[in-house]
Every structure is written in C-alpha cells, then in structure tokens.
Structure 1
Amino acid sequence: MAALAYARRHRRPLAALAAWSAVEALHTFATGYALARALDAGFLAGAPRTGLAWLAVAALAVVVGAFGTARTYRGIAALVEPLRDTLVRRVVTRALYDGDGGAVSRLTHQVEIARDTFAGLLMVTRSFVFTAAGALAGLFLLAPVLLAVVVPPLLLGLALFVATLRPLARRQEAYLAADEALAKELGLLVAGLRDVAAAGAEQVVREGAGARIEQGRRTADALARWSLARAGALAVAGRLPVVPLLAAAPWLLGHGVSPGALVGALTYLTQSLLPALQGLVHGLGTSGSRFLVVLRRLAAAPPEPGYGRRPVPPSPSAPALELRGVTFGYGAHADPVLREVDLTLPAGGRLVVVGPSGAGKSTLTGLLAGLLQPWSGEVRVAGVPAGSAGAPARRVLIPQEAYVFSGTLGANFGYLREDAVPQAEVTAAVRAIGAQALVRRLGGLDAPVVPGELSAGERQLVALVRAYLSPAPVALLDEATCHLDPAAEERVERAFAARPGGSVVVVAHRAGSARRAEKVLVMDGPGTVSGTHEELLARSALYRDLMGAGEGSHPPGAAGDADGVDAVAGPGLAGDGGHVVAHGSVRQVQAAGDLADGGALGGQ
C-alpha cells in the first residue's frame, strides 16, 4: 500500500520513465527481428542489399535505444531523491525526539543503502520488464511456437528465484541489526575511552566489542551462503532455455521455422534476456532484500506531520520532575557523577542548576531528557519515566548550541507543533522571548533562514521561540542563554517561568539565574544539595562561593561561622589583606607573623 501511495504521488515521473524505457527497449526488439529478416530475406535469399538494410535498421535502433537510456536517468532521480529526503527527515526526527543511539548508522549507512538500492531496483526492474516485453514480442512475430520452447524454463527459473527472496531478506535484516548494534557499541566505547583506560577495563571492553564484531561476521556469512541460490535460479532462467531451443532445432526447422528466426531467437536469449535476467536476479536478490529490510527499519522512526507530535497530557497531580535515588556514571568502573540524588519539582515550578565545570550539570540534563539511563534509581518527567516512549512529548530540550534548519523563520518556530501555529500565538512568543528585532531583520515569518548567516545568539533565539511554542510541559534549558546578554537572559527565563502550564529547568552560568529561581540545585558530586537561594547561602559553602564569583566579591560567611570568614577562600574578601585562608578542619585568620614569607604579602 505504501508503494502504491508513493507511486500515485509521483505519477508524472513514473509515466516519463515508462515512456523512455519503451524507447530504450526498441533496440531489444529490433536486434533479434532485424537479424532474422537480414538472414531470411537478405543473405540466405541472395539479396545482400536487403540484408544490409535490415542490419542498418538494427544499428539505428541501438542509437535510438541509447538515447532512451540516457533519458531514463532523469526519471530515476526524480523518484529516488524524494525518497531519500523523506527517510533523512524521519531518521533525524527520531534522533531528536527519542535520543536514538543507532541514528548514526541509520543516517550515514542505512539511508544511503535505501537510496542506492531503490535506484538500482528501478533500473533493473524497468530494464527486465521492457527488455522481456521486446524479446517476447519479437519471438512471437518470428514464430509463435518459439514461445512454447523458451517460456517454460524462463518461468521456472524466476519461480526458484522468488522462493529465495524471503530467506535472503531475513539474513539481510540480521546483518543490518548487527551492524547497527556494533555502531552503537563503538559510539559508547569511544565516548568512554578515558574511563576505560582509568579503570583498566581494556580486556572487558575488548571482549564485548569483539563479540559484536563476531556477530556481524556470522550474519555476513549466512547472507553470503543464501546468496549462492541466485546463481542456480539464474542458470535455470537465463541459460536453460537455450538447451531446449537447440535440441528442438531440427523439429522447428521442419515445421516452418526459418533459419533466420532460429538465429533471432538465440539472439534474444543470449543478448537480451540473459543480461536482463542477470541484472534482475542480482538486483532483487541483493538490493531488493536490503531495500525492504532497511525501509522497514527506517519506517520505525516516528512520522512527522507538521514537524511535531501531540503530547499525552500529564496527570494534574504529577510533579514536573522526580529523581528518586538516582546514581549515574560514565563507564562501569568510573566514579559516579551523581550519587543517590533525590529531587522533586512540582508542576509549574522553576529549577536552576548550578555548579563548577564537570560537576554533572549536563549529565543531569541528559538524564532528564532520556538521553542517558541511570545506573540505579528512577527519573520521571511529568509522571512518566524519562526513557519511555511517552516522555519525548512531555519535555523539550534547548542545548547550548541549538539547531536551525534551512527554511522559513515561521517553519523553524513551529517545528515542534503538530498543527499550524496561529500567527497571533507566534507573535506573542516572539515578544515574550524578545526576538522581535531578529524577525524584523530577516523580513518577517515567511523570510528564508540561512543558518550560517545567523549569529550564535540569533540561533539561540530561534530555538527558544520554538521551545516556547512547544506543547511539551517541561522545558530544559542547558545553558541555552549563554550567547545572550544578562538582560536578554533574564527576559527568557521569566518568559519560560510564566509559560502557561509549563515548568522550566535552567542550567545556569550566571548568578542572577539562581537568585530568580524558586529552587536551586547545587551540583558538587557527593555534596549535591538543593533549596532556595537563601537556604543555600546558609548551608552550602560552594554555593556562597559561586554566588560571590558571579558578583565579583564574596558575600559574608554563614551565621554559624564564629570568625565570620568565608568557607571557601578566594580573592576580594572584605578586609582581606591577602592572608585569609581555609586551614584544616577549622577556619582561622592567620597572623602576619605566622606566614613564611612576609615580603610576598607586602610586609603583612
């Protein structure tokens, strides 16, 4: 049904391809028929000029057929390239929404397999159909009895070949599945090489990767063994018909079949049908099974009506985010980045995540987006597990470097919506995010977007408007405002906080984001804590240091500090002459005379 629907959508290219294929097949018909007439009416009848004239007709038919062949390539391209574009969009959509680990293999390998094999299938199938039609028509015009000799073994060989297609398809699918699994395994391995070396896990990794490679070899061997069946089918369909034709030659010559017709029949078999059969058998036997398998696997990607999917509404009582005892690390023997983290963000809430580089902020975002799976514990987004099929429709992720595609500005804005977005809603979103200047500069919502001509901040504005218009109730901003100035950043965060029915998680790089948040999560490995801005100033030394770094000076120490000294030493402390330090388990002010080198401190 899908093939028929595709054919209906491309009727004109198909009609043009059929017309030029008929022109191409003219030389097939003329080769055997003109040769038979050249012998019977020309050379054998003592009329060499007539014979030469028929040979000239055959040569002219070859020229015309070559012109038809050249024109068929345009029709092939008109059918193949739209299929490739559709498959690429489906694969990219699946990768963006589901975090598909096999997307690299699908995009770089399987889509190209589908494109190339579809083109090859069109060529060989078209060639066989029109070549066979021309050859059988020529045999009928030469002597109808020739069909009774040639057609039965031809049909037998084709039947044997068709019987091998299903086993070949199964072996081909197993081969592609093994290739996809190997690509995914190697992708994870390359990302964790440092942890593998640090943990001394080379042998374990070698064994795991070796097993995947061995599995791929076994599936390739099985595919090759079944491919041998093609040779048998080709022998029966393409070469066996010559045997009964030669064996019946005396009888045929005695019952009205001319010598020229017999030579013409041999020409049709050996010069036309056999090459066309070879192309069909090799094309369908290898490319056909690969195409069906790849198309079935790629069809698992979600469809893209209106560039988006309709989310399942979350339960009204479900929190926006829940982390229950979540532990995660990169590599089985690496130290966990997150350890036993518990966190709940109510629906409509706003969470800001802060911490030094490498503390796990982007890792947390990956867990919330379902791109990473925790070692233990559970991550839920709007009431469903973060890695489940329903989770992608409930959250939208805006990374530090957002994706903008070629197309209109309005299409970029509405990419995550299933239906067309009303212009008034788009205008309100542009105003809320502060992207009016960008829309004016580009020339409106219908203006074309050239991603390379946008600045990093402009690309982020496009992505932020797109996310704002998304129906997903949870927005994850992973340093998504890093290319904006502080005022624009504050506007974006307030817009997402006020988004109707929405919750927002902000991975922040400025202190102001934390001060504006309802809840702050401080990432510090085992010392990860959460609370309000005021609570964390009292409880977390790291948070006080981060807030001080964001303002250019450190705030006063917590009320529990007897000496009123910052928990983490740093430059710029009030009244600090350069000798305030953190010393051991008890914080002290070190006297000038205790310092080893008073000169380095200006005599203090």
Structure 2
Amino acid sequence: MPEPDPGRTADAPPPRRGLFAAGARRLLRRPGALLALTGWSLLEAAHTFLLGLAVARALDEGFLRDRPATGLAWLGVGAVGIVAGAFGTGRVHRAVGALTEPLRDLLVERVVGGGLHAAVTPGRTAGAAGAGAVSRLTHQVEIARDSFAGLLMAGRAFVFTAAAALAGLAALHPLLLLVVLPPLLCGLGVFAASLRPLARRQRRFLDADEALAAELDATLGGLRDVVACGAQERVRAEAAERVTDERRAASALARWGATRAVALGLGGRLPVLLLLLLTPWLLDRGVSAGALAGALTYLLQSLAPALESLVHGLGGAGARLAVVLTRLRGGPTDDDGPVRHRPPPPSAADAALELRAVSFSYGRGAAPVLDAVDLTVPRGGHLAVVGPSGIGKSTLAQLLAGLLRPTSGHLAAHGPVTLLPQEAYVFTGTVRENLGYLCPRPVPDAVLLGAADAVGCAELLTRLGGPDAVLDPAGLSAGERQLIALARAHASPDPVLVLDEATCHLDPAAEARAELAFRARPGTVVVIAHRISSARRADLVLVLDGTRAVAGRPAEVAAGSALFRDLCGGWDAAGGSQPAGPLGDADGVHAVARAGLPGDR
C-alpha cells in the first residue's frame, strides 16, 4: 500500500483540507441531480399550494353556494395535486440518494487517510488510534451520510412547503399571513438559538462513544494479560466509567432536545390556536369561511408537518452532521486533548528506513510484540527479516508501511512505501490496469511488460492474452496472483518496497528470480522471509526471536544468533553458508525420481 506523502516520517502531522469545500465541490459536480431535486421539489410545492386553495374554493364557490358539482370539481383539483405531489416525492428520494453517496465516499476517503495517520502519530496508542478510526468509519460516517440525507430532505421540504403554503395564504387573504407568520418566525428563532448547545452536547456524546470504543479495543487486545495479572476488576471499573460517561452525555443531549417541542409549539400549534381565536375578527374584515378552512388546511396538512420535520431533522440530524464533519475533518485527538507532535531525532542522510528503540504492543498492558528494535536500512539496501511464525514479522511490515504506529520509539520512512502482503490483491480489470495500479500516471506498456518479465510473470501475461486481457481474480491461482502483484510493485515508482511473504506461493526458483529482480531495481527492499534462502541473498538480516532483535550482515548475525544458525542449518567459520543438500539418503539416492538427476545418462 503506498504511503500518501513522500518523505513523511511517522511524526509528521497530516495535511488538513477543507472537508466542507470538498463536499460542496463533489455535489456541484452533479448538476443533473441538483436540477432534478429542484424540479421534483417544485412539483411537491405545487401540490401544497393547490390543496389549501382547492378546499377554500370548494367551500366558497361550491358547497356554501349550493353548487356541489363546482365543489367536487375543486376537490378533484386538490386530489390531482396530491397524486402529482406523491409522484414528485418518490423522485425526490432518488435525487437525494444521488447527492448523498458522493459525500459518503469523500468521508470514507478522509477517515481511512486519517486513520492511517493516527496509527503513526506519536503520543497515541495503536489501540486508541485504531478504535477511533473504526468508530469513525463504521459509525460516524454512517451518521454523517444518514444525517445529510435527512437534513437535505427536511430542509428542502420546509423551504418549498413553507413557500407554497405562505403563497397560498396570501392568495386567500393577506390578513391570514399576519396571523400565521409572527408565531412561525418566533418558533424558528427559538429553534435556531438551541442549535449551538445541541451541537456541543452531540460532540460530547461522540467523544464518549470514541472513548468507550478505545477502552473496549484495548481491553480485548490485552485480555489474556488482564486475566494473567488478575486485573479483571480494575479493567471492569474503567470500562464501566466509560459507559457511564456515554450514558450521561446521551441524557444531556436528550434534555436539550426538549427545546424542539417549544419551537414546534410556537411555530406549528400557536398559529392554529390564533386562527381559531381570531375567526370573528377575520370574518368581519372580509376573510371568507372557505379561506379560513383553506388556511387551517395549509397549517395542519403542510406547514406544521414541514416545520416538525425541519426541527427534528436539523435539531437531530443537523447537529450530528455538524459535529461529525468537524471531527472527521480535524486532526487526530485522544482522551487528553489534541495530540502533541514531538520533533524526530536526527536522521541518517543515506537511510531509507530508521527505527530507534521501536516497540509495539496490541493494546494497553499487552506484552510487546516488538521491543526496543534499532535498525537502519540504507537507501538501495536489501533487508531480510526472519524468525519463527507469529514472532512479529508481519507487524514490523505494517509498521514500516505506516499501517501501525509504534507504541514507543521513533520510526521514519524516507520516501513512499509499498507493502505487498501475503494475500495478493488482484481486481477485475485489464492486465494493464492491474500492473499500473500503483503508478500515479499512465505507464507505457513496455515498462509494465518489462517489470512482468523481470519478476517472471511474462509467460503468465502471454497466456492471459496480453495487456488488454481482462483478469478474473477467481480464475487465478494464489501463485499467479502473487506474480501479478510482484510485477505491479516492480513497476511502481515507490523507492521502498516491503514484501511480507509476498512469494510464499511460488516455488524456490521463482521466488529467487523475483527477489533478485527487486534487488536489481533502484530502491530499497525489505523481505519478510518465507524461506531461509531469502536471508542468504540479502545485504542485511534482522532476526526476531521474541527476546531480542539481532541485525547486521548475514555473517555477523550468524555469529551472534543461535536461532539464525539453526534456521540456516549451520554456518562455517569463514562466513559462508552450508545449505542443506538435495533430498536423499546417506548414499546420495534422491527421494524424488525425476529427469536430470546426477549421473542420469
């Protein structure tokens, strides 16, 4: 996985970009959806305008004048408006969906990028960083998407419905506006005044939610150590405190939500009461009975429901959206406030990777997987990392690639890093698209095919049909997928490559060819060794044995690490390897019959 910023160390803060501006740009790139939303909303508004007007005309010009046919005709007009409005409402939901998904995609991109940075930010535990990112990705992004959709629906509905209803009241009689408009504005004012306190309490609730997620993540990560140390009661008390904090934050948020009832009472219920109380006064000044009935229709069927949707939508979804967007666009924080970045120690001028007393553990209180590792990999160097399974080799690879951050110590990667995991990723697309996936700009086919040939993938590409052939990942074996991923990494411009058992599904000869190709490629290579032969081909070796890390040239490491000598099967005094011979018994008879055996004529 390429690191986003070349030359960035683990201590550098992430760039902050305007999330609101980026979201607005994405929405403006969909003018068709915006125009569709406006058009269908106007159709809904026409239904609102016709409904109250039809009721008033049906009474004044029809039923009250003993003209039932005219009255029914006007009611028919209102019914047609209802059908048209329902049709428009269905299309509005489609337009809102077309505008919501781009925002969600933007938020996911920002959360993933922020989570990767938080994982390499000093002063923040890996568990807390990962849990905060998980909370943002799985919970807060969905809150933002749903809140934006609800806010868009509620705000749009209120604007168009209120405009249509007020226009209808003015068309019936201007005095009706004098009765309805002042309490409506008062209700909106009370509601607007409550938005900031609601947002603050929503922010506290989300803080408590992230803190609880971090606490539970850390507890689960170090559960065996908790049990071994007999710290169950202490851990339970800390988790209970987090749960209590979240409950209190939720209660405070609910209490402030009561202001929405006041706003609804003023803006939605008081106009109805005033209209009934002032009926004699209005009738004396020329307001007809039909106009009063039409005004009540506008209030009860359109304006009050629209105001209720706005208050609940903006007061709940709007406050959540503002808080979540503020959190997602900001830098990483922890329970004690903003993270303070420490200046990194001086770096070696010719180093590609530097580790100074780097330690890492999964969760607070857990035993370290890596403990005080010191390592410098020079530019253009070839490092092999060896050790038993489960000793922390893949953890080290993720630290080097920036997917995890050290619990303590300093780690610097001088240049973008590409990580090739054991399970190679191949997607449905052309061969060219798969090979150029890590290249920021289109790469000539000659370069891509040259990379494929270097790692031993040329024959596979020919069999697949060339650069324009479409790959089916399910139709490729694990080894074939690894060959394509190796060619992709070889073609990438990133100067540092980390191969985490990325050749484990290849035979030894194919593995050797791929590693030699990466060694000949300009740049630095780190190989998490699957076979000990990888260590014999490397300039430097890092041995992880669970108690200490030994690094140096192969001969030096062999002299200081019994584990490495055991893995290699022996090491002579001159520093040369003594690889195990071919399969066979003491008489030299090979256990596997095949052509080309020694002495075979």
Q: Which TM-score bucket, shorter chain as reference?
A: 0.7 to 0.9
Q: Any residues of structure 2 matched to 1:86-235 within 5 Å, and which?
A: 86-95=106-115, 99=119, 101=130, 102-235=132-265
Q: CA deviation at 1:343?
A: 2.3
- Corresponding letter in the other structure for 1:258: S
Q: 2:521 aligns with which of 471, 492, 499?
A: 499
Q: SS at 1:242's partner residue?
A: helix
Structure 1 197/218 Cα, relative in aligned 2: closer, same or farther at 3 Å? same
**C-alpha separation between the residues in 2 aligned to 1:158 and 1:56?**
34
Question: For the residues of structure 1 that align with 2:452 and 2:400, how far apart are their CA atoms?
Answer: 26
Distance of 1:300 and 1:425 partners within structure 2 = 40
Report deviation, 1:352: 0.5
Q: Report the TM-score when normalising by structure 1.
A: 0.80
Residue 525 of structure 1 aligns to a residue whose secondary structure is coil
The structure whose RCO (Cα within 8 Å, separation 6+) is larger is 2
Amino acid at match of 1:482: C
Distance 2:25 2:468 in 1: 30
Structure 1 partner of 2:394:
362
Mapped to 2, the partners of 1:137 and 1:332 lie a distance apart of: 63
Contact 2:201 2:249 in 1 (8 A): yes
Is this contact kept in 2: 1:93–1:301, CA < 8 A?
A: no
Give the superposition deviation at 1:27.
2.5
> Which among 343, 358, 376 is matched to residue 344 of structure 1?
376
- Taking the aligned partners of 2:364 and 2:63, their CA distance within structure 1 comes to 84
Task: Assess, with a 3 A threshold, how the Cα gap between structure 1 residues 217 and 26 changes in structure 2: closer, same or farther.
Answer: same
Number of equivalenced pairs: 538
Partner-residue secondary structure (3-state), 1:240: helix
State yes or no: 1:380 paired with 2:412: yes
What is the distance in 2 between the residues matched to 1:356 and 1:523? 8
Change (3 A) 1:62 1:377: closer
Confirm or deny that 1:24 pairs with 2:44.
yes
Aligned to 2:454: 432
Structure 1's unaligned 5+ residue stretches are 303-313, 383-392, 549-554, 561-565, 576-604
Residues 27 and 375 of structure 1: CA distance in aligned 2, closer, same or farther (over 3 Å):
closer
Cα drift, residue 296 of structure 1: 3.4
Residue aligning to 1:514: 535
In structure 2, relative to structure 1, the CA distance for the partners of 1:450 and 1:279 (3 Å cut) is: farther
1:275 alignment partner in structure 2: 305
The amino acid across from 2:555 in the alignment is E
Paired residue for 2:28? 8
Q: Relative to structure 1, is the Cα distance of residues 236 and 372 closer, same or farther in structure 2, using a 3 angstrom cutoff?
A: same
SS, match of residue 384 in structure 2: strand
Distance 1:254 1:56 in 2: 30
- Hey, what's the Cα distance between the residues in 2 that align with 1:463 and 1:91? 26
1:46-61 alignment to 2 at 5 Å? 46-61=66-81
**Are 1:398 and 2:420 matched, yes or no?**
yes
Q: What's the offset of the Cα at 1:430?
A: 2.9
| 8 Å Cα contact 1:361-1:507 kept in structure 2 | yes
Q: CA deviation at 1:246?
A: 2.5
The answer (yes or no) to whether the contact 1:195–1:331 under 8 Å persists in 2 is no
Q: Is the 8 A contact 1:537 1:558 kept in 2?
A: no
Distance 2:405 2:231 in 1: 21
- State the superposition RMSD in angstroms: 3.2
Q: Specify which of 349, 352, 358 is matched with residue 320 of structure 1.
A: 352
| 2:68 is aligned with 1:67 | no
Match of 1:385 in 2: none
- State the Cα distance separating 1:163 from its structure 2 match: 2.1
1:528 pairs with one of 530, 549, 557 = 549
Residue 449 of structure 1, CA deviation: 4.8
Which of 250, 260, 266 lines up with 2:290 in the alignment?
A: 260
Judge conservation of contact 2:116–2:402 (CA < 8 Å) in 1. no
**Structure label with greater radius of gyration:** 1
Q: 2:556 is matched by which residue type in structure 1?
A: E
Query: Which stretch shows the higher mean deviation, 205-214 or 416-425?
Result: 416-425
